[in-house]
A = this chain, B = another copy of it.
Amino acid sequence: MQNFEFYNPTRIVFGEGRIAELNRLVPEQARVLILFGGESARRNGTLAEVEAALGERHVKHFGGIEPNPSYETLMRAVEQVRAEELDFLLAVGGGSVIDGTKFVAAAVNYSGDPWGILETGGRKITQALPFGSVLTLPATGSEMNDGSVVTRKATKTKLPFKNALVFPQFSVLDPTKTYTLPPRQVANGVVDAFVHIAEQYLTYPANAPVQDRFAEGLLTTLIELGPLALSDPKNYDVRANLMWVATLALNGLIGVGVPQDWATHMVGHEITALHGLDHAQTLAIVLPAMLQERRDAKRGKLLQYAERVWGLTNGDEEQRIDAAIVRTRDFFESLGVKTRLSDYNLGSDVVEPLVEQLKTHGMVKLGEHRDVDLATSRRVLEACL
């Protein structure tokens, strides 16, 4: 096991009806900005429920945070917070709204150009506004971690940042709030959580049996729950477990003491930035190709994955690895998430510009061995066609 530091102070308030507890969770004197995405939060009554729980507090709103939240939009929220002297942020939505709120929290009093937050990966953040979240979409894990990804539309740049100052103080997870999600978002959430786990698990053996078993338990549960979440959308236990799996997939726990990959995410980010695909769509495209390309470096863990997650014990090593990758792809496809660039009408002409973007953003040594160079990423993208 590698040395590690684990710290995660986010309070999780989980279960049906817990939004009412915002009254306990948000300071009484807080001047609150509620941040949200589209109008579904209002239409479904979630916003009204949040407002009721906040009672007499001074509350303002900022709507319209888009999927893959943009720097341009978020800077308008930053201006609003400054102009109206608000001091507590409350994200109501999924990972994009929470990621965006993290940026706003860090940017309001940031010294210098706030784009620097992204350019330095969050290292120069010295303070952030306190904030909490009400999660409505199980997927990104942003509700219980200190990471965020923001896109600058003007330059088609999608970059992550991370800082312990942007852990949510609390996140309310009410599974019933996910009942009305469109199937595409549910499927995307399952794929996103699955690939988060894969990025921390499918690397090389590191003598960390607990992290391995936790990751395998989460993957196995996702494989069971994914189809049920689509076929039986108001099944409380299915939605509850899916929500908790997605949180645990990226709250730091399964990644301690082990190597991590994240090459699939970095390549995927470029596809979203240039072509607008959903984040999870890009992951469903890139992961199978990345596993295939890096099957030798990942051999030990791919064999373990084949056996423990997919129950594949027949055939030789190559056959079991092949079968595990096929099962992975088939699982994404079974949820309705397509796994080829061509499924999204993208052809071979997109490869080189994507490689150029990786180069521009310094993504030239990716993966758990830092050996996914531009040539490797190019081969992966060609295998995604």
> Is A5 positioned at the interface, with any CB of B under 8 Å from its CB?
yes
Which one of B14, B207, B213 contacts A220 once the chains associate, using CB atoms below 8 Å?
B213
When the two chains form their complex, are residues A16 and B3 in contact, meaning their CB atoms are under 8 A apart?
Answer: yes
Q: Which residue of B lies closest to A17 (CB)?
A: B3
Contacts of A352 in B (CB 8 A): none
Q: Other than the known A8-B8, A210-B248, A244-B257, what 9 A-B pairs have Cβ atoms closer than 8 Å?
A: A1-B237, A4-B14, A5-B13, A5-B14, A7-B9, A7-B10, A14-B257, A209-B217, A214-B214
**Complex: A225 Cα to B218 Cα, angstroms:** 22
Contacts of A17 in B (CB 8 A): 3
The minimal Cβ–Cβ distance linking A37 to chain B, given in whole angstroms, is 26
The minimal Cβ–Cβ distance linking A92 to chain B, given in whole angstroms, is 19
Contacts of A13 in B (CB 8 A): 5
Which one of B14, B213, B220, B224 contacts A3 once the chains associate, using CB atoms below 8 Å?
B14
When the two chains form their complex, are residues B213 and A221 in contact, meaning their CB atoms are under 8 A apart?
Answer: yes
Which one of B6, B14, B240, B256 contacts A6 once the chains associate, using CB atoms below 8 Å?
B14
Contacts of A6 in B (CB 8 A): 11-12, 14
When the two chains form their complex, are residues A5 and B1 in contact, meaning their CB atoms are under 8 A apart?
Answer: no
Decide: A14 near B256, CB < 8 A? Known: A8-B8, A9-B9, A217-B214: yes
Q: Among the interface residues A1, A8, A214, which one has the most CB atoms of the partner chain B within 10 A?
A: A1
**Complex: A14 Cα to B10 Cα, angstroms:** 20
The minimal Cβ–Cβ distance linking A208 to chain B, given in whole angstroms, is 7
When the two chains form their complex, are residues B5 and A12 in contact, meaning their CB atoms are under 8 A apart?
Answer: yes
When the two chains form their complex, are residues A224 and B209 in contact, meaning their CB atoms are under 8 A apart?
Answer: yes
**Complex: A317 Cα to B10 Cα, angstroms:** 42
Q: Which residues of A in the span 206-259 have a Cβ within 8 Å of any Cβ on B?
A: 207-210, 213-214, 216-218, 220-221, 224-225, 237, 240-241, 244-245, 248, 253, 256-257
Which 10 residue pairs across A and B have the least CB separation, nearest first? A3-B15, A213-B217, A9-B9, A207-B237, A7-B11, A6-B12, A1-B240, A209-B221, A4-B14, A210-B221
Decide: A210 near B245, CB < 8 A? Known: A240-B1, A256-B14: yes
Contacts of A14 in B (CB 8 A): 1, 3-6, 256-257
Q: How many residues of A contact B (CB 8 A)?
A: 40
Decide: A241 near B7, CB < 8 A? Known: A2-B15, A14-B257, A257-B14: no
Which one of B1, B7, B245, B248 contacts A244 once the chains associate, using CB atoms below 8 Å?
B1
Q: Which residue of B lies closest to A5 (CB)?
A: B13
Which one of B11, B207, B209, B241 contacts A210 once the chains associate, using CB atoms below 8 Å?
B241
**Complex: A248 Cα to B213 Cα, angstroms:** 13
**Complex: A115 Cα to B213 Cα, angstroms:** 42
Contacts of A10 in B (CB 8 A): 7
Interface string of A1-40 (1 = CB under 8 A from B): 1111111111111111110000000000000000000000
When the two chains form their complex, are residues B15 and A4 in contact, meaning their CB atoms are under 8 A apart?
Answer: yes
Contacts of A253 in B (CB 8 A): 253
Q: List 9 A-B contacts (CB under 8 A).
A: A1-B244, A3-B15, A6-B12, A7-B10, A207-B240, A207-B241, A209-B224, A210-B248, A240-B257
**Complex: A192 Cα to B9 Cα, angstroms:** 26
Contacts of A240 in B (CB 8 A): 1, 207, 257
Q: Which residue of B lies closest to A174 (CB)?
A: B3
**Complex: A217 Cα to B224 Cα, angstroms:** 18
The minimal Cβ–Cβ distance linking A25 to chain B, given in whole angstroms, is 10
**Complex: A18 Cα to B10 Cα, angstroms:** 24
The minimal Cβ–Cβ distance linking A251 to chain B, given in whole angstroms, is 10
Contacts of A207 in B (CB 8 A): 237, 240-241
The minimal Cβ–Cβ distance linking A172 to chain B, given in whole angstroms, is 10
